[in-house]
Amino acid sequence: MDSSKKKVYIETTIPSLITARPSRDIGELYRQQIARDFWDERHKYDLYTSLYVWEECAKGDKEAAEKRLNLIKDIPQIPKSKETDDLAEEYFTYLQIPPKAKTDSSHLAICVINKIDFLLSWNLTHLGDVAFNKVVEYNVIRNLWVPGLLDPDTFMRKMKREEENG
């Protein structure tokens, strides 16, 4: 692993959008294109997933699931542990994440415990700005890693600015 590369955790929405048929909704089509643009530049980063991403990618239409799983098959999968499970439970309660989105707390815990630089997702409903500020406060008090929680568009703009600024 190249230590200069950013470590990026790919949440399920990324492979889902990359492999989906082009949407008729312009906003969704834009997200699909940005996800594909990110994918074209993935070699610049050390990518990671987890069992949670694999489980979510395997759901739904069999053919679509196969495409998603095939896309991420070579990305290292970070194993869950008691430590990540315990922290995920803490985030679930602290951030008041709805039960249907409980996996979001697991994605976050895996990134924190494994010191992943960024959690990339198009669905930051429960891990957006308000939650991020709470995560920062929670993690700083406990001396825990704080990953960036970004959508691919914001991430790519941030990486481009860093590249331009040396």
Reported pTM: 0.93
Residue 109 pLDDT exceeds 90: yes
pLDDT digit string (tens) for 118-128?
A: 999 998 887 87
Q: Residue 1 has what pLDDT?
A: 46
Q: Cβ atoms within 10 A of the Cβ of 157, count?
A: 12
* CA–CA separation, 109 and 93 (whole Å): 13
Residue 70 pLDDT exceeds 60: yes
Residue 103 pLDDT exceeds 50: yes
77 membership: H or E segment, kind and range: strand 77-78
Kindly indicate the confidence band of residue 3, based on its pLDDT and cuts at 50, 70 and 90: low
Nearest to 55 by CA among 35, 77, 38: 77
Nearest to 112 by CA among 16, 17, 48: 48
> Which domains does the chain show, CATH number per domain?
7-164 (3.40.50.1010)
Q: Phi and psi for 84 in degrees, rounded to 5?
A: -70, -40
